[in-house]
Amino acid sequence: MKVVVIGAAGQLGSDLCAALGDRAVPLTHQQVDVNDPLGLLAVLREARPDWVVNTAAFHRVDDCELDPERAFRLNAVAPWNVARAAAEVGARTCFVSTDYVFGRRVPEPRRPWVESDPPGPVNVYGTSKVAGEDLVRQVQPGALIVRSAGLYGVRASGKGWTFPQLMLHLAETRGTVRVVDDQVLSPTYTADLAATIVSLMEEGARGLFHVVNEGYCSWYEFARQTFEIAGVEVDLAPQSTAAAGRRAARPPWSALASERLPRPLRPWQEALEEYLEKSGKVPAGRTR
């Protein structure tokens, strides 16, 4: 199996390349332009892959509200370009999407969203990713579409900090940290996500999968668990999304689970502990 990974220098892309080993054909944004259909096709013809994984996205949620044209160009039209070029060279497509396709309502009784639930985004970012999913399916009805959430990994995020990194930085530099407690998600370690994506490709999986670490929490609980594992004492307090004053609306409930995977990924708390150890924030094997 030969796999082109678009966005290979990113957080998820680098973990995908590590999981694939010599089966990966890593492509950075400097090597391929997903908005150039002819150039993209030429690159894929030369690579001759079995799969093309597209991790490229415009994921600065607040900035998407200011520039919806760019959001749809990178999150919808570009994935369509990738899927068309992949189909032209006989390759399967894997498109990475987001929990932010949900948020317009909260399930009652409260439970994680599964693959059969209809999306309902509340911001431009989520809407553009739903459009990307639909356009990829239009070109390749059997495409693999993977939704995940709250990504963090050892490689720095394209946004600057991963959430755990940011929390520990704020604790060190400010001593006081305020985190929203009215948004619920499923934090996911990119090493676990990458390993599962590779397994799905190896199995020839088709259609939509939710791939997240098991369980869910608020961002406040995510921060509290980070400080607890790292052994950091900090003045941590919850705040509302409204008080945080963000430009884009956020889903109050975007926890995910899968009705299609044969078994869930490990719990998010366990994955977070490994991440903090590998990042050097916690001594390996430390007992809490």
> 174 in a domain, yes or no?
no
Please determine, for residue 23, whether its predicted confidence score (pLDDT) is greater than 80: yes
Please determine, for residue 283, whether its predicted confidence score (pLDDT) is greater than 80: no
* pLDDT value, residue 249: 93
Please determine, for residue 288, whether its predicted confidence score (pLDDT) is greater than 50: no
Please determine, for residue 84, whether its predicted confidence score (pLDDT) is greater than 60: yes
Dump pLDDT digits (tens) for 118-145: 999 999 999 999 999 999 999 999 999 9
> 259 in a domain, yes or no?
yes
The catalytic site residues sit at 125
* pLDDT value, residue 287: 45
How many domains does the chain fold into? 1
Q: Which residues pair with 6 in a beta bridge?
A: 27, 54
* pLDDT value, residue 285: 57
Dump pLDDT digits (tens) for 215-233: 999 999 999 999 999 999 9
* pLDDT value, residue 282: 73
* pLDDT value, residue 17: 97
pLDDT band at 280 (very low <50, low <70, confident <90, very high): confident
Q: What percent of the chain has pLDDT over 70?
A: 96
Residues in the chain: 288
* pLDDT value, residue 159: 55
* pLDDT value, residue 73: 98
Instruction: Please provide the average confidence, as pLDDT, over all residues in the chain.
Output: 94
> 177 in a domain, yes or no?
no
> 283 in a domain, yes or no?
no
> 234 in a domain, yes or no?
no
Angle at 45 between CA 44 and CA 50, to 5 degrees: 65
| Cα–Cα distance for residue pair 41/108, rounded to 1 Å | 45
Please determine, for residue 40, whether its predicted confidence score (pLDDT) is greater than 80: yes
* CATH number of the domain residue 46 falls in: 3.40.50.720
Please determine, for residue 158, whether its predicted confidence score (pLDDT) is greater than 80: no
pLDDT band at 247 (very low <50, low <70, confident <90, very high): confident
> 69 in a domain, yes or no?
yes
Dump pLDDT digits (tens) for 198-218: 999 999 999 999 999 999 999
> 50 in a domain, yes or no?
yes
| Cα–Cα distance for residue pair 74/236, rounded to 1 Å | 36
| Cα–Cα distance for residue pair 182/255, rounded to 1 Å | 12
> 88 in a domain, yes or no?
yes
Dump pLDDT digits (tens) for 248-257: 999 999 999 9
Q: What percent of the chain has pLDDT over 90?
A: 89
Of residues 244 and 193, more confidence is placed in 193
User: Lowest-pLDDT range, 92-96, 161-165, 234-238?
Assistant: 161-165
* pLDDT value, residue 157: 52
* pLDDT value, residue 213: 98
pLDDT band at 11 (very low <50, low <70, confident <90, very high): very high
Domain extent at residue 107: 3-156+186-215+255-265
